[in-house]
Structure 1
Amino acid sequence: MHSVLWGNDLLTWSIAASIAIATCVLLYGVKVLVVRRLEKFAAHTATWLDDLTIRVLSATHPLFILLMGLYAGSHWLTLPAKNTTLMSHLAIATLLLQVARWGDVAVHGWLHFYRTRRAGQDAAAATSTAALGFVARTVIWAVIILMILDNFGVNITTLVASLGIGGVAVALAMQNILGDLFSSLSIVLDKPFVVGDFITVDDLAGNVEYVGLKTTRIRGLGGEQIVFSNSDLLQSRIRNYKRMQTRRIVFGIGVTYETSKQQLRAIPGILREVVEAQPQVKFDRAHFKSYGASSLDFEVVYIVQSPDYSVYMDVQQAMNFALFDRFEEEGIEFAYPTQTLHLANPEIRLVRERPEPELKLASRP
């Protein structure tokens, strides 16, 4: 019995099906074989490239293997030109979608390995991966979609031009969102701060918790979460205390005007001795600065060789104790707000005179 289906007999269909099955088995076998060999190889290496390759190859979708097998078997069949062209377009579209999936997995895997490898050295890894991953994936899928449309005969030149005009309109309508997006990229590339840094923005301070595409979140000193838009954040004055290497400290003290000339001249030396006696501290200067309203003012400048605020406070506390002891030994008194009233003539006495009452006698006639 000689049966014909869509212009091909059963033998031809059997051969085409065999080719399709063989192609599927071959592609799947190659995938499994290569992945297993790479897994054995990766177990003895420290590089992340082989691990990334395994991730990419493991992302090969079974539907892609099936469609490639059907496309290979269709070449044995005698099909109308229209159907042959359609099969060719579908095969190319399937291949492009699989390439997009490979690219997406490759970007995700690379960013994951980059974040893991640099997490202990560069805290910016957590900041940059989100934005870079979003941009890279968007570009990959946009290019693949345009290629698929071009494969099916769509005039992408006109489409791209239309998208450009529409993009301008969308950009005008989404200025704030796009501004925050580009500000996020600026934060990622320029890295004025990263997750974990302690920063102050105007009069707000806290640790950076998250840098997103639109907002940056900071955990305030009071425990509250402070949310900034990325555009507003970059337009503000940011102080990043995490990147301090040293602390320059300026503090002043005042002594009373009753301090003698010898004591006054000895104070800068006392201040220098006290500062230089502290560990992790570099003395800069100590001077008799000015005549205050109720004190003789001195200014001291020193540099703490550590960015840790606790270290600075420990040093300042030790210096305060030492200065108190030294001034007590030298008989120098710390000043405090006082006012002295000087009278021009202290002998003047105020006397209040009271007039005596008049005595009037009435006379009788």
Structure 2
Amino acid sequence: MKNLFFENIEKNLLVPAYFLAFWLNVQRLLVSETALKFLNVTAKILFAYYGIRFLTNFVTPLVEHGLGKRNTFNQKQTATVIKILLQILIWALTLTILLDNLGIRVSALVTGFGIGGVAIALASQSILGDLFSYFIIFFDRPFELGDYIVVGEFRGTVENIGIKTTRLRSLDGEELVFSNTDLTGSRVRNYKRMNLRRVVFRLNLPYQTPLAKLQEIPRLLETIIREQQQASFDRAHFAELGASTLIFEVVYYVLSNDYNRYMDIQQAINFRIKAEFAQRNIELAYPAQTIFLQKENTHGC
């Protein structure tokens, strides 16, 4: 950074310095007023031009250096947009100051540009809204490239974050396109940043299951879950007397945000439950309905 700073000074400030020395020496000479006015105008224009170059070349490395530390999405695209906006701002401010120093009334000019800017802003309200939303996403970082997010009823992996739209790839393979304004105004669930996945599942057993076997089941389920890697047991309870079955509720945590890893663990748990229940002659309930018929005595006493 230091080398770039000194190189910038050498490229953009030496010429104004030489011209300043020339201008100071000319002031001591007997020259006409017209020549002095010409030199004054030339000096102001020259200083304004090289001042713009100096500020632009000074700001550009700072932007690139700052974005380089973030290691975020679309780094080149974001840096380009920010640099263009800063250059427009520097040129606008410098030209305004230059025109004012040249004796041109800039108040009417600024008012005209302001009215024109309002008209342009109203005409391109949607585009500007998406642009500002892009910077909100960039600085706030609710999601990044490769994150799996859910927006309303839509879900998918973030493939591209553009200046106007963000594109997701759904599990079915289709491309989902959202405007940046819609994303910043919606509730976004980011599964990539989920450190723990809470899993709840239930087991249904028939009412004919003996009490002694029911009392074994919570400890058995705890043992099965603790055997799994990246799984943390929370609880297992005889939770409810259902309409036709006895219901056990089991809760555990998967110590990973990988959905495939969660399914592997759940599959292993299901296999172990099936094997252990078969070994202990514990049956799982299946959808059924038992009807009890009572025969009425039609004969009188």
Which TM-score band applies after superposition, normalised by the shorter structure? Answer: 0.7 to 0.9
Counterpart in 2 of 1:271? 221
**1:90 and 2:55 correspond:** no
Q: Deviations over 1:261-302 (max 9, x none)?
A: 221222122111111222222221112233445432221111
Instruction: Work out which of the residue numbers 276, 292, 298 in structure 2 matches 1:342.
Output: 292
Shift of 1:260: 1.6
Name the TM-score, length of structure 2 as normaliser.
Answer: 0.82
1:239 aligns to 2:189 (yes or no): yes
Contact 1:289 1:297 in 2 (8 A): yes
- State the match for 1:137 in structure 2: 87
Q: 2:280 aligns with which of 324, 330, 346?
A: 330
- Deviation, 1:239, is 0.6
- Aligned counterpart, 1:169: 119
Which AA in structure 1 matches 2:103? G
Asked whether the 8 Å contact 1:67–1:94 carries over to 2, the reply is no
- 2:97 maps to 147
Question: Which of 100, 103, 110 in structure 2 is aligned with 1:160?
Answer: 110
Q: Is 1:315 aligned with 2:268?
A: no
CA contact (8 A) 2:74 2:161 kept: no
TM-score normalised by the chain length of structure 1: 0.69
Q: Which has the larger radius of gyration?
A: 1
Q: Which amino acid aligns with 1:75?
A: V
CA contact (8 A) 1:217 1:227 kept: yes
Give the aligned partner of residue 262 of structure 1: 212
Aligned residues: 296
SS of aligned partner of 2:295: coil
Aligned to 2:239: 289
Secondary structure of 1:75's counterpart equals helix
**Does the C-alpha gap of structure 1 residues 267 and 164 become closer, same or farther in structure 2, counting only changes over 3 Å?**
same
Percent pairwise identity: 39
| From 51, 54, 57, the counterpart of 1:99 | 51
Q: Which amino acid aligns with 2:54?
A: W
Give how far 1:123 is off.
5.6
For residues 183 and 276 of structure 1, do their structure 2 counterparts lie closer, same or farther at Cα, with a shift above 3 Å needed?
A: same
Q: Tell me the distance in 2 between the aligned counterparts of 1:141 and 1:59.
A: 19
Amino acid across the alignment from 2:97: M
- What is the Cα deviation at residue 331 of structure 1? 0.9
- The 3-state SS of whatever aligns with 2:192 is helix
The Cα offsets for residues 221-273 of structure 1, whole Å up to 9 and x where unpaired, read as 34443321111111211011222121111122222233222212221221111
In structure 2, runs of 5+ residues without a counterpart are none
| Structure 1 equivalent of residue 26 of structure 2 | 75
Q: Is the 8 A contact 2:159 2:168 kept in 1?
A: yes
Give structure 1 stretches of 5+ with no counterpart.
1-48, 349-365
Please give the secondary structure, in 2, of the residue aligned with 1:288: strand
